[in-house]
A and B are shown apart, each in its own frame.
Chain A
């Protein structure tokens, strides 16, 4: 292969090079952007869970409380028994499980959303200890609570104050910024899990709807092996029955309803179509190139180039052209991705995951997690685009090499 000859061919036949490269560049750009979009939607769908570090959130829906007084469960989150939790921990793919207990407590003066959380842990609402913005986190064994900052401001509550709750008084250890955690963990008052379980077990209204033992909970946060999530969801559904409410990145992806969010298969199919069209365009362009240069190829052969040497030269030109196309396509894709990165999307949060009572003002309003589309071109995708271009160039040149071999110098140079 002669590099000088190749560069000069590409340089002096600018229009031909540009047209051929542009066709492939458009295909590469489309393929990269489609895949980046699909990946972005998949990542966006993880956002509602990602803040918790969880891959799966499990609830069980139940009946509406018969009497709205004292401690009750929202109908979207009733008892998950301790033996069911133990069975879920043993399911394949489960790495870590964190538990919480969500209640509505209706006292004579006011209603409060109460969430019992574990003292320790890196997943689930336990991470709230990172967001204490006044006072401190509670000390184990003491009858202490954390109060959500906005709720505390509304009621004039400060660290050190006592707040009445379900017949007891809890000392406010600190205030916590709940806006930093997902909606499902947004409560007014946070209690140590054991104390919340004690309140729930003692509530006749709650027990009347959903029998509850002091070791039970109603929210599970699970980290899982990504490849086994689907299997895990089936396992949990089998254990908790048809009323299991399981939130996963896939369930959020479906709720987005975007074409790109529909499935990996769609982006794969579209990419495949784009690649096939691109190969055809490149092949057509290369075939036209060879047809146009039949005489030139005849001259090369007449002066002693073998078929293989001519084919290598044409292949090198084709691959270089495709590499140029890959660079242009990637550049265009980076620009498109930068523009798409400015777009914000709203991920609808299912009402089951809203801790606010729906019969309270604003409680039934649709809730969204709004975020910028987390779109980017991964190094792997960029490398794939380049490799694909080289592959397309090599394949088309390979297909044409037989045609090149059939060009007879005497025939193409005869009629001058």
Chain B
């Protein structure tokens, strides 16, 4: 594993008014590393994830993704970074209800000048890797929780990201399905060399990561 950090947060803080949610956090993720963030509700895990992924700007501190300073990038530049380098997986899947499984996967590719066939083939290929080839044209309402999360994982990977941010990806799933999803994520980490930064409550799942980061009251304790 390459030890040069892919993602690096330095003295990252976030306050909402007088409430300091994240306090001077330093955190790095190496290429193809699987890092789990654990901590109680309200400990600042999700906020830190948003700060490190460029979805939210810190009150102070610096976040570098490869050679891009996310804290100094414009909104459009951040969108570009998210489109080209980052994948997201959410607890509630966040699929577009009017689009089929393959269209949801291809969603990050829609703004790109790309032939529809190529979009579809990339989405179909990913869904096939996740054993979802039989559900390509189904709407999210016709999918089970585990299937929805597989679609969400495929969507996170369709743009060949260098890092995937996963916020409680197994939180809405039963334990067996959660274990399946974790296995998929681990597999993708090894096969595709994608770094993972995952927030979870589940200590058992977290134990499968390369490294565990504990959050408590907005601070990190390794």
Contacts and interface: CB of A to CB of B under 8 A. Distances in A.
Given A8-B98, A410-B50, A304 B55 contact: no
Contact of B111 (A295, A296, A309, A410): A309
B88 A303 contact: yes
B111 A304 contact: yes
A306 B99 CA distance: 20
Contact of B56 (A2, A303, A308, A408): A408
Interface in B71-120: 75-76, 79-80, 82-84, 86, 88, 90-92, 94, 96-99, 103, 107-108, 110-111, 116
A67 interface: no
Contacts of A295: 94
Nearest to A293: B96
B79 A5 contact: no
A303 B76 CA distance: 12
A265 interface: no
Contact of B55 (A4, A302, A305, A309): A302
Interface string B27-62: 000000000000000000010001000011000000
Contact of A304 (B92, B139, B159): B159
A299 interface: yes
For B46, B88, B91, B98, the residue with the greatest tally of chain A CB atoms inside 10 Å of its CB is: B98
B94 A300 contact: no
Contacts of B82: 301-304
Contact of B108 (A8, A296, A304, A306): A304
A307 B98 contact: no
B23 interface: no
Interface residues of A, number: 29
B155 interface: yes
A346 interface: no
A416 B75 contact: no
Nearest to B83: A304
B169 to A, nearest CB: 12
Interface residues of B, number: 30
Given A296-B96, A302-B82, A303-B82, A410 B108 contact: no
A66 interface: no
Contacts of A306: 75-76, 79-80, 111
A242 B181 CA distance: 96
Given A12-B98, A303-B82, A303-B155, A5 B103 contact: yes
Nearest to B116: A4
B90 A413 contact: yes
A130 interface: no
Given A304-B79, A304-B80, A307-B76, A5 B50 contact: no
Interface in A280-322: 295-296, 298-309
A13 interface: yes
For B46, B79, B88, B92, the residue with the greatest tally of chain A CB atoms inside 10 Å of its CB is: B79
Contacts of A299: 94, 96, 107
Contacts of B80: 304, 306
Contacts of A301: 79, 82
Nearest to B50: A410
Nearest to B94: A299
B92 to A, nearest CB: 4
Contacts of A11: 98
A304 B50 contact: no
For A11, A295, A303, A305, the residue with the greatest tally of chain B CB atoms inside 10 Å of its CB is: A303
Nearest to B158: A303
Nearest to A411: B56
A43 to B, nearest CB: 47
Nearest to B98: A12
B76 A416 contact: no
A414 interface: yes
A142 B90 CA distance: 103
A84 interface: no
A9 interface: yes
Interface in B132-152: 139
B79 A416 contact: no
Interface in A5-32: 5, 8-9, 11-13
A410 B103 contact: no
A376 to B, nearest CB: 40
A361 B108 CA distance: 88
Contacts of B97: 12
A398 interface: no
A189 to B, nearest CB: 79
Contacts of A5: 96, 98-99, 103, 110
A414 B14 CA distance: 15
Contacts of A12: 97-98, 139
Contacts of B99: 5, 8
A35 B18 CA distance: 60
Given A12-B98, A413-B94, A304 B84 contact: yes
Interface string A175-199: 0000000000000000000000000
A409 B75 CA distance: 11
Contact of B107 (A13, A303, A408, A411): A303
B207 to A, nearest CB: 24
Contacts of A302: 55, 82, 88, 94
Interface of A: 2, 4-5, 8-9, 11-13, 295-296, 298-309, 408-411, 413-414, 416
5 contacts: A5-B98, A305-B83, A306-B79, A414-B50, A416-B90
Q: Which 4 A-B pairs have the closest CB atoms?
A: A304-B83, A12-B98, A410-B50, A410-B56
Given A5-B99, A295-B94, A306-B75, 11 more contacts: A12-B97, A12-B139, A296-B96, A298-B94, A301-B79, A303-B107, A303-B108, A304-B80, A304-B83, A306-B111, A414-B50
